Homo-oligomer: A and B are copies of this chain.
Amino acid sequence: MDSIFLDLPARNAKPRSSGLTMAIDNGIPHGAFADAMASGADYVDVVKFGWGTALVTPDVERKFEVLRQLGIGYYFGGTLFEKFVQQERFESFLTLCRLCGCRYVEISNGTIDMSLEDKAYFIKRCAEEFTVLSEVGFKDADRSSALTAEELLDAIHADAEAGASYVITEARESGRSGICRPDGTPRDDLVDAILSSDIESDHLIFEAPTKDLQTHFIKLLGTNVNLGNIAPCEVIGLETLRLGLRADTLMHFEQARSCA
């Protein structure tokens, strides 16, 4: 009865296809990066080098090497893809990804003007060589609030059909646009629409950079929801939320346990 081990929800171990944690590197120093990845290696599945930070980081290959040693995948934030597309250098973007040893690419249209058809073309092309993560939603707060559930579902379906392995719902590093309101709360209309559709949540990654967003999606979809844009130094904090070891989710999981 009274064991040293707590009853905790079943957490998928690595390598896993659901329960993913995608960490975002917003350009932190080399030592801090290596430190966070070493301590969080059991929990981080993939790292996004946010927007164009990788191009500005001196000796960025040191970061790639850290991740290769730990068996953690990595890719560049979709904004970098969009920058290359805006300058009509998509093939160069692929060259860059190859040279950097990326196994993943992120395809998004959160900043530049790009039709779903064009986006599908890029996804198809990338899927020949890479695991494709596509992102839906906009970075601009005004465009984000104008986004309808129907448009969001259309975008998710189009990306998945074009070959995206995972579709990421935008929330930025701040949690204040994409599927979130400027006050940082999630737009329930969009989340509800996704969850009542035929889209499997295992193929979605919810950007959830704040504790409140993480709590929200864990309560909604469970321990093994896929979450993204996690700060490297908050990976362990997220794991406690997933396991009901922090106040915000403690009673949620205790109630589930007592019902089981």
Contacts and interface: CB of A to CB of B under 8 A. Distances in A.
Given A29-B233, A53-B240, A56-B245, A250 B42 contact: no
Interface in A66-86: 79-80, 82-84, 86
A237 B53 contact: yes
Interface residues of A, number: 68
A246 B79 contact: yes
Nearest to A1: B88
A110 interface: yes
A4 interface: yes
Contacts of A31: 31-32, 34-35, 38-39
B250 A56 contact: no
Interface in A32-55: 32, 34-36, 38-43, 50-53, 55
A6 interface: yes
Nearest to A236: B27
Given A31-B34, A87-B254, 6 more contacts: A26-B237, A29-B35, A29-B40, A32-B35, A56-B236, A56-B239
